[in-house]
Structure 1
Amino acid sequence: MTIRVLIADDHHVVRRGLRFFLDTQTDIEIVGEATDGQDAVEKVNKLNPDVVLMDLVMPRMDGIEATKKIRETNTTIKILILTSFSDQDHVIPAIRAGANGYQLKDIEPDELVKTIKAVYDGQSQLHPQVTHHVLTHMTGGGQEENLLDTLTKREKEVLIEITNGKSNKEIANTLFITEKTVKTHVSNLLSKLELADRTQAALYAIKNGIK
């Protein structure tokens, strides 16, 4: 299956470089380019890509606000932040906005392809520096432990597989249940943990040492 990608970055050289390399991949198709956040939101609604490569600092509307806008109407499109900033002032808002992954622009081209495919498959992809910021930022305490206690045994099993970076299909195969059942468990555990997406769930589980 071909992964349809939209590139959102205000720098022409960056967009051109990304397109030049990604066009060499037989299973990735660049369906469009956006020059700022507002343009990205409009292009997403028009082109319906599978994955958006989203820069953070852009004119008119930044990547964080664009991610929020996209998430208001679409929860299935994967958004991969691709930026030069790894500080928590950029990382935390981006994850909260609903980004599925966060990588830095110095990533190796081949690694970027792997990241795009992983995000497309439903896996969380965070740069190590980003993971550190998110885990440090998340508060600890009894409330989180109580929330984990609200999960059923099966929901905990699904959560553990999410932390291993597995897609719904892979989780279904591992636990010998249907993919539809996995989706139900994921929805339920996100609701119980009061989290927005799989990325937050994986970080939550890691921080609390779920076994």
Structure 2
Amino acid sequence: MQRILIIEDHRETREWLAGICRQAFGEPVIEEADTLARAQRLLDHDVPSLALVDLSLPDGSGLRVLERLSRQCPGTYSVVTTIFDDDQHLFRALRAGASGYLLKDQPQSSLVESLVGITGGRPPLSPGVARRILRHFHNSHGDTEPDNPLSEREEEVLTLLAKGLGRGEIADLLDMSVNTAASHTKAIYRKLNVSGRVEATLEATRLGIVNRRDEG
């Protein structure tokens, strides 16, 4: 992986991902884009061997980059780096051409290991993502699952929210940043169509999420 393009709107996260790439691949040439427009301009001039693509950008979706790379740069290895671990984002990214899907709330060492695995032919997939893919194919053969729109990580966050913990406490317990905990919380509220902790807790109880995880 001699040339890497990192598409991510947060500067600190770009620097973090660049450090992970250097640990995995030595000293590659790294280019960075904080918007969809800049990413498209960079792709007009250079073809990266690896692209790390955030799905949520200020001026559009990273899916457009994945589609362009799949169509015009088949030699580029495209990997999504995101906090979204729900089926909708995952399978839309895979359909758009992603060759891997990594969650940013993983430990840094796990992300390095996942990227190193590319050279050995192993697709970089976070463990929870791999389980979702397997579950999807099981369900396509007739299995069913509860009507629950939340990802496994979001269930963990919601369970702690229901217990009255704040975002800082949730971040510490789940080994993530406060910003990531806040992003998960917003996604939970959006998916459950609620406006606050109390409504979210009631909906989680209806779905059996809180009780199931307490028992586990």
- Which residues of 2 match residues 148-187 of structure 1 at below 5 A? none
Whole-Å Cα distance in 2 between the matches of residues 5 and 94 of structure 1?
A: 19
Partner-residue secondary structure (3-state), 1:18: helix
Tell me what 2:178 maps to: none
With over 3 angstroms needed to count, the CA separation of the structure-2 counterparts of 1:126 and 1:21, relative to structure 1, is closer
Q: Does 1:135 align with 2:130?
A: no
Partner-residue secondary structure (3-state), 1:125: coil
| Displacement of 1:57 | 0.8
Whole-Å Cα distance in 1 between the matches of residues 124 and 81 of structure 2?
A: 11
Tell me what 1:125 maps to: 124
Greater C-alpha radius of gyration: 2
| Displacement of 1:47 | 2.4
Identity over aligned pairs, percent = 28
Tell me what 1:162 maps to: none
- Which residues of 2 match residues 11-90 of structure 1 at below 5 A? 11-23=10-22, 27-90=26-89
Are the aligned partners of 1:56 and 1:63 in contact in 2 as well (CA < 8 Å)?
yes
Whole-Å Cα distance in 2 between the matches of residues 131 and 25 of structure 1?
A: 21
With over 3 angstroms needed to count, the CA separation of the structure-2 counterparts of 1:110 and 1:28, relative to structure 1, is farther
Whole-Å Cα distance in 2 between the matches of residues 117 and 25 of structure 1?
A: 5
TM-score (norm 1): 0.58
With over 3 angstroms needed to count, the CA separation of the structure-2 counterparts of 1:127 and 1:34, relative to structure 1, is same
1:127-159 CA distances to partner (integer Å, 9 max, x unpaired)? 122122223333237xxxxxxxxxxxxxxxxxx
Q: Does 1:91 align with 2:93?
A: no
In structure 2, give the amino acid aligned to 1:140.
H
Identify which range, 109-118 or 45-54, moves more after superposition. Answer: 109-118
With over 3 angstroms needed to count, the CA separation of the structure-2 counterparts of 1:113 and 1:47, relative to structure 1, is farther
With over 3 angstroms needed to count, the CA separation of the structure-2 counterparts of 1:111 and 1:28, relative to structure 1, is farther
| Displacement of 1:51 | 0.7
Whole-Å Cα distance in 2 between the matches of residues 130 and 86 of structure 1?
A: 7
Whole-Å Cα distance in 2 between the matches of residues 36 and 91 of structure 1?
A: 21
Tell me what 2:192 maps to: none
With over 3 angstroms needed to count, the CA separation of the structure-2 counterparts of 1:13 and 1:73, relative to structure 1, is same
With over 3 angstroms needed to count, the CA separation of the structure-2 counterparts of 1:68 and 1:61, relative to structure 1, is same
Are the aligned partners of 1:51 and 1:120 in contact in 2 as well (CA < 8 Å)?
no
1:145-202 CA distances to partner (integer Å, 9 max, x unpaired)? xxxxxxxxxxxxxxxxxxxxxxxxxxxxxxxxxxxxxxxxxxxxxxxxxxxxxxxxxx
Q: Which runs of 5+ in 1 are unaligned?
A: 142-211
Tell me what 1:4 maps to: 3
Are the aligned partners of 2:47 and 2:73 in contact in 1 as well (CA < 8 Å)?
no
Whole-Å Cα distance in 2 between the matches of residues 120 and 78 of structure 1?
A: 11
Tell me what 2:99 maps to: 100
Query: Paired residues, what number?
Result: 140
Are the aligned partners of 1:78 and 1:120 in contact in 2 as well (CA < 8 Å)?
no
With over 3 angstroms needed to count, the CA separation of the structure-2 counterparts of 1:81 and 1:26, relative to structure 1, is closer
With over 3 angstroms needed to count, the CA separation of the structure-2 counterparts of 1:92 and 1:24, relative to structure 1, is closer
TM-score (norm 2): 0.57
Are the aligned partners of 1:50 and 1:120 in contact in 2 as well (CA < 8 Å)?
no
Partner-residue secondary structure (3-state), 1:80: strand
**What RMSD in Å do the two structures reach over aligned CA positions?**
2.2
With over 3 angstroms needed to count, the CA separation of the structure-2 counterparts of 1:23 and 1:127, relative to structure 1, is closer
1:49-71 CA distances to partner (integer Å, 9 max, x unpaired)? 11111111112221122101211
